[in-house]
Structure 1
Amino acid sequence: MTLSVDLFFSFRSPYSYLALPRTLKLVEEHDLAINLRPVYPIAVRVPGFFKKASPQFARYIVLDSRRVAAHAGIPFRFPRPDPIVQDMTTLDVAAEQPYIHRLTRLGAMAQLDGRSLAFTSAIAPVLWDGSVAGWNEGDHLARAADKAGFDLATMDAAISADPDRYEQVITENEKDHAASGHWGVPTFVFENEPFFGQDRIDLLLWRLQSKGLAKR
């Protein structure tokens, strides 16, 4: 029997991006379905979060995510532009968020199609691997989507025609994410048990194996 895991994912989270290679390997090697469910970053989900957090919080994430990437041999650079429009001096988050709304709705559309892991695994590196100067410019996203079997222009048009449909998917994802017992991303959830962080994949695998996870 194919086991199934939900993966709550944010396009702004470095750890979400860093979890993708091992997640793909899990699926490649095991009889496992990963249902990637995009949520908005905590900067949007929890207004004022960064102003309430320790000033060391963001600095540590920058330090740690870079060394995690280096240790794992994953190409890595913080996205340019940042998917969240935020003044990192004042920590004010802009009211208008064109980048993250588009990305997360695209992920929600792929989720409805049952191919959110494939879509996100194609798109996220364009933001994070440092291979392009500006991920939002030119045809970078379109070419990545095409390689995964998606037509980005068609997706954008469908979302523009009915954004509420995809916002509803995101809202449901965020509700289930919160109900899982954790607030951070990436969070893997198997049989209502949360595994938070790209560094908990080994623990997740151990749990799945205890439940009969089979090799492909």
Structure 2
Amino acid sequence: MPEPIDFYFDFSSPYGYVAAHRIEDLAQRHIRAVTWRPILLGPAFKISGNRPLSDQALKGDYMWRDVPRLCRRFGIPFARPEPFPIATVAAVRAVYWLWDRDSEQAVAYAKAVYRAYFADGRNIGETAVALAVAGEVGLDAESLGAALQDPALKDRTKGEVEAAIKLGVFGSPFFFVDGEPFWGGDRLPLMDEWLARGGW
């Protein structure tokens, strides 16, 4: 079987939210699985010197016009979240804990977390909200809540973020196709062609 597509994303990334609705259809066209890898962009920003788009003059205003436009184009529900951006460490840890047990549940949870923030306006940076979302998709929120306090899971999450940075991940969404990096949701058509042609 071909290698999965690695999908790196930050739950506070609106472009990651759009990509989360589109990556699996692309992968299925090429008989690929997708490995969902949530990250925290803060450590990468410290290295790259970047800042959230919302904190950048001109770019932030453009983003809040562009993202709703993309969502209308692809039929994705969207409501501008407040507060923005937020730290989403509990949700990130939750995905890795779930992934080790049932990857399909992990993906369902990740999609639900994104929807809670960018469609329903819920503050997924709050652990209670992240756990409530788990319960809403049929997961054991109590067991998950206990797991979030496990030092091993905290180390695992930190290690995943550090590994992503070592690979060169600096934004969200970020993809790897057979080791080839693609940054940004606007690279999905290029990835589609790359997979169809076997690269160039």
TM-score, with normalisation over the residues of structure 2?
A: 0.78
Q: Structure 1: how far apart are the matches of 2:102 and 2:197?
A: 26
Q: Structure 2: how far apart are the matches of 1:195 and 1:127?
A: 25
Q: Structure 1: how far apart are the matches of 2:194 and 2:75?
A: 26
Q: 1:178 to 1:140 in 2, by over 3 A?
A: closer
Gaps of 5+ in 2: none
Structure 2 residue 106 is the aligned partner of structure 1 residue 104: no
Q: 1:197 to 1:71 in 2, by over 3 A?
A: same
The one-letter amino acid of 1:50's match is R
The one-letter amino acid of 2:32's match is L
Alignment-derived partner of residue 165 in structure 1? 152
Larger deviation, residues 101-110 vs 8-17: 101-110
Q: What SS does the corresponding residue of 2:182 show, helix, strand or coil? A: strand
Count how many residue pairs are aligned between Structure 1 and Structure 2: 192
Gaps of 5+ in 1: 85-98
Match of 2:72 among 70, 73, 77: 70
The one-letter amino acid of 2:164's match is H
8 Å CA contact retained: 1:4, 1:34: yes
Alignment-derived partner of residue 16 in structure 2? 16
Q: Structure 2: how far apart are the matches of 1:151 and 1:117?
A: 15
Q: Structure 2: how far apart are the matches of 1:32 and 1:69?
A: 24
Give the CA deviation at 1:183.
0.7
The one-letter amino acid of 2:99's match is Q
TM-score, with normalisation over the residues of structure 1?
A: 0.73
Match of 2:184 among 197, 206, 209: 197
Per-residue Cα deviation, 1:143-176 (whole angstroms, up to 9, x for no partner) = 643465522222111112x1x3223233332233
Moved over 6 A (4+): none
Q: Structure 2: how far apart are the matches of 1:144 and 1:5?
A: 26
Identity of aligned residues (%): 26
Q: Structure 2: how far apart are the matches of 1:68 and 1:159?
A: 33
